[in-house]
Each structure stands twice: as structure tokens, then as C-alpha cells.
Amino acid sequence: MGDKNYSTLGEFIINNQHDFKYSSGELSRLLTSIKLAAKIVNHEVNKAGLVDILGAVGETNIQGEDQQKLDVYANEIFKSALINREIVCGITSEEEDDFITIQGKYNAHDNKYVLLIDPLDGSSNVDVNVSVGTIFSVYRRITPPGMPVRKEDFLQEGNKQVAAGYIVYGTSTMLVYTTGHGVNGFTLNPAIGSFYLSHPDMKFPEEGNIFSINQGNYAHFPQGVKDYIKYGQEEKDNRPYTYRYIGSMVSDFHRNMVKGGIYIYPTSSKAPNGKLRLLYECNPMAFLTEQAGGKATDGHIRIMDIKPKELHERSPIFCGSTKMVEKAESFMKKYTSNK
């Protein structure tokens, strides 16, 4: 990862610009804007219990889910941070019906990147003081610079990502990201407002014993998932696994990357295509997983090789420690004829 005689996120971004193939400073400015927006959202999350910002706003997003007030707020903060600085040529968000094309006085149509974002993953947990997060993904546009972005700029396979990351707003606030050269985590020092490198070169342990899945949906799961759950409950080797499920993907994922584990959100009879969004959740987390030495699939094929068809397409996901994901896949493979 180059010279590590630096400590802040800003210094790290500048010192590692050379790792990026098309470096011109634009990606660095984009990541800096995400950092600034994250600090604003973090401030609001931390004081959410003191002001009228909890709960739903009475509207639903494109997914048909109730929008939480903090979802809407976070969405506006990240949009403003990137639109006002004219760093990207387009944005799409889990909270928006369609993508946003950006053109300002400096003609942002000329910019290289598009941003895809889940502004506040797990926001319903804020009401009960549980960690939530932001997930983001960056692609290099495929349409020619100088013209408005098109949907095809966003509907790219995950293997085309140039950066991805998340911010977890918890007991401490961390920003974790990759540009394809490993995964690094930065912790916010709220006293001075700076992120410091706290988790360099993060790696999934090859094997783990944490199992994250909503077992309340067990009756609706495919048989392969049911079989893997039973396997995880056996008294053998390093099993039974420890079951930990927060219901905030960022929090579950972060814990598993640090300690070793698998996160599963499969298809079910209630959600035949899965529940999580391919573009806003699965692809960025898959990129991070692979860069941290883990594995991410839909139970059968690599997440980042899936060609998206819609902005709000859903997908099942199995991600985490490689050996755990491969074992889960082996159970799924027994029922491939049902896929």
C-alpha cells in the first residue's frame, strides 16, 4: 500500500492517488466529499434522539418501503456534497426513483465518475440506538464525456467498480473503503473532526465462526440455506457457529470482516429475487469482500459478474470468510436445478 508514514484519511487519499489507473485528482476529491458528508450525517445520527428526525416521513421509496426521516436527510446531504462540488457526472441512490444527471457552471458532464449510494442502511435501527451506515460505489462512466449520463453508466457489473466503501455510525464512526488495492479503515476523532487510519489492510479471516442471517425467515429459505444452517448448528470442529444478526448490513459486515464470519441474505418464498439491492449494497460489499481476501456470491455465481438490468434490481448475497462461503455454496449446489 506504499508509504504508511501518514495518519489521516486526507493524507492517505493523496499519498495513494498513484494506485489509481486514471488518477487526475477527481477521485480524491470525490472521496474527500464523501468524508465531509459522512461527518455531517454522523452528527445528525448522534443527536437523532434529541430532535424530530426519527421515524418515517409518510412516503415510500422506489422499493416500496417506508422512508425514514434520516434516510431522506442523509440522501440530501450526500447529494448536496457531490452536486455542489460538481465532482461526479451522475448519482443514483436507493432513495431515488431514477438517476440524477449533473451539469453545473463548470459542466460536470465532463466528469469521469458516477456514484451509487445507499445513504443510510439500517436506518430503522436508529430508533433503538443500533449502528447504521452508508454504502457507496463508484464507477468510471462509459458514455463519452461532455454529454449527460445515461442509465448504462450505472448498470455496470461490479467488477467495473473503481472504488467502494461504507461508513458505520456506531460507538465509533468508521469509514472503510477500497480502490482495488486492499481495504483500509479510518476512525473519526470527533474532538477534532478528522478520520485517522486505525485498521490498515483489513482482511477477512479465511475461516470464521460467526453466522449472520435472519433466521426468522427460516421457513421461507431455500433448502440449501436450511441445510447450511443445520450444518452450522452441529457440535463438530469449530461449530456450532455463533449467531449474530443486527439487521444493519454495514454493522453485520464490519463485524464479520474484523472477526471472521459469513453474511447471508438469500432468496426466499417472500423475496424470490432476494431483498438487498445489487447496485447499492451487494456490489460494493462484494468489492470490499474480495479486496479483503473473502468471497461474495449469490450462492452460485460471483456477485461482481452479474450484469445489472435495473437500477433497483435485487440479489441474494453470501459474503465473508472464503471457506464459510464455499461451504454454503456446496449446500446450494445440491439444489441448482431449483435455481
Q: Do residues 204 and 320 make contact, with C-beta atoms less than 8 angstroms apart?
A: yes
| DSSP 8-state symbol, 188 | E
Task: Count Cβ atoms within 10 A of the Cβ of residue 327 and give its class: 0-12 exposed, 13-18 middle, 19 or more buried.
Answer: middle
Rounded Cα distance between 265 and 276, Å, is 7
Instruction: Report d(CA 102, CA 231) in Å as an integer.
Output: 50
Strands, E assignment, 170-314: 173-178, 184-189, 194-199, 210-212, 242-243, 261-265, 295-297
122 annotated ligand binder: yes
Residues 6+ apart with CB under 8 A from 100: 79, 83, 90, 91, 92, 93
Q: What is the CA radius of gyration of the chain?
A: 19
Q: Is 121 annotated as a binding residue?
A: yes
Of 183, 182, 180, the closest CA to residue 159 belongs to 180
What residue spans of the chain are helical by DSSP H? Answer: 9-15, 26-46, 69-83, 223-233, 249-259, 283-291, 322-333
Q: Does residue 124 have a known ligand-binding role?
A: yes
152 is in an annotated binding site: no
Q: At CA 113, angle to CA 36 and CA 7, rounded to 5? A: 40
Residue 127 marked as a ligand binder: no
Q: Binding residue per annotation — 275?
A: yes
CA distances from residue 53 to 47, 113, 120 in whole angstroms, order as listed = 9, 32, 13
Does the annotation place 80 within a ligand binding site?
Answer: no
CB 165 within 8 A of CB 136: yes
Annotated binding-site members for Mg(2+):
94, 118, 120-121, 281
Annotated binding-site members:
94, 118, 120-124, 214, 245, 275, 281
Annotated binding-site members for substrate:
121-124, 214, 245, 275
